[in-house]
Amino acid sequence: MNKHTDNVSYNKLLKGTGIFIVLFIAMCWVLTKTEERDQQVKSQQSVEAPVEAVPAPPVEDSVPEAAVYRYTPKELLEAFDANELRITHKLNGNILALRGKISDIGLSLGKPVIGISIPDTSKTIRVFFDSDMVDLVSRLNVGDYVLVGSPDVSLNPFGTIHLRNASLLNDTASN
């Protein structure tokens, strides 16, 4: 570099720094004036009479009760095939009650899982239980008809319907 380019760069640096300092001082002045104005407005506001506090309603009253929707395996598959968004939205926050025939029983990550066959198809619905359900699920047999309830129903990327956090409902019986 020569002297001329060094001076030009140095001059640009000085101008930029000067502009920055001027802007900084201007912003500080604006903020100071704004704070002073806010304090004046607050001091001029009239004091209002205290308002009586109304107690909030109990939380348990405001929690909506979950609806129970009953489906057969075939009806559930048809609902997912027709409109996955609609059935997922309908079941969100509610309970699905599904009655069907057990096609297989196994474990997934140490937790019990059963397959419920969908008539006239090769597909199954996978029902996942918590580990505290091992004793109850171990009493079931392939071919038994079960009624399961689940608050978490979804379609996995491979097209299999999953029911998670499931429980066995009252009319579970062998056929």
Q: What is the CA radius of gyration of the chain?
A: 34
Q: What distance lies between CA 124 and its chain's CA centroid?
A: 26
The rounded distance, in Å, linking the Cα atoms of 145 and 26 is 78
> Are 70 and 156 members of one domain?
yes
Q: What distance lies between CA 158 and its chain's CA centroid?
A: 21
Answer whether 150's CB lies under 8 Å from 163's CB. Answer: yes
Q: Residue 57: inside a domain, yes or no? A: no
Residue 4's domain spans which residues?
1-50
Q: What is the pLDDT of residue 28?
A: 76
Q: Residue 157: inside a domain, yes or no? A: yes
Burial pattern 88-119, b for ≥16 Cβ within 10 A else e, equals eeebeeebbebbbbbbebeeeeebbbbbbbbe
Q: What is the pLDDT of residue 13?
A: 79
Answer whether 151's CB lies under 8 Å from 94's CB. Answer: yes
How many domains is the chain partitioned into structurally? 2
Q: Residue 90: inside a domain, yes or no? A: yes
Q: What is the pLDDT of residue 43?
A: 64
Q: Which residues contact 108 (CB under 8 A, 6 or more apart)?
A: 128
> Are 74 and 154 members of one domain?
yes
CATH number at residue 69: 2.40.50.140
**Residue bearing tokens 């075939």:** 74
Angle, CA of 12, 16 and 22, to the nearest 5°: 145
Residues of the chain with pLDDT under 70: 1-6, 38, 40-64, 172-175
> Are 5 and 68 members of one domain?
no
